[in-house]
Amino acid sequence: MSLWEWLKEIFMKPGPPKGDLIEFYRPGYQHWGVYVGGGYVIHATKNDYIDDRATVTKDLIEDVAAGDEWHVNNKYDTRHEPRSPDVILREAKKMVGKEIPYSLLDSNCEHFATNLRYGVPMSGQAVIGKVLSYVPIVGGLVAGAQLANSASCSLKHNATALQ
C-alpha cells in the first residue's frame, strides 16, 4: 500500500450517512447518538448519577466511544419512516448545549436519538428495563399466592383433623 493510499484510508474514510443512529457498546448497556457528519455525533449525556437531567453535546465518535465498540443501528427503520437527514440534522443541532429531562426508563439517550431520527422516542433498553422492574413484584405476588394457598390448605387440613 502506498503512502497516499494509507493516508486516504486513515483520513478520508467516509463516515456513516448523516442522520444514522450510532450505538455504542458499554459494559451492561448501550449509549446512543445521531451521526451528523465530519466524525461527529450528537447525543444526550446524563449529567451525574443523582440528577434527572442530561446535556445534549456534539462530540467526535471516537471520543464518545472511548475505546468501546460502536456501529450504525437504524433498528426501527422497518417500523418507522426515518425523517430526512436535513430535518434530523437541523433538529439535532438546535439541541446542542441544552439540558433535557433524563429518566432511564422514560427519557434516555436512545429515546433522544430515536426521536431525532423518527420523530418518535423509543428505547428497546427501556422496554426491557420496565419488564424487569416488574419481576420482583410478580415474584412477590406469586410467593404471596403460594403462601396464601399453603395457609389455606393448612387451615383446611387442621379443620378436617378437628372434626
Active-site residue list: 31, 43, 109
CA distances, 103 to each of 60, 63, 65, 98 (Å): 24, 24, 22, 16
CA distances, 107 to each of 60, 117, 139 (Å): 23, 15, 27
Cβ atoms of 117 and 34 closer than 8 Å:
yes
Instruction: Put residue 37 in one of left, alpha, beta given phi > 0 → left and psi -120 to 50 → alpha.
Output: left
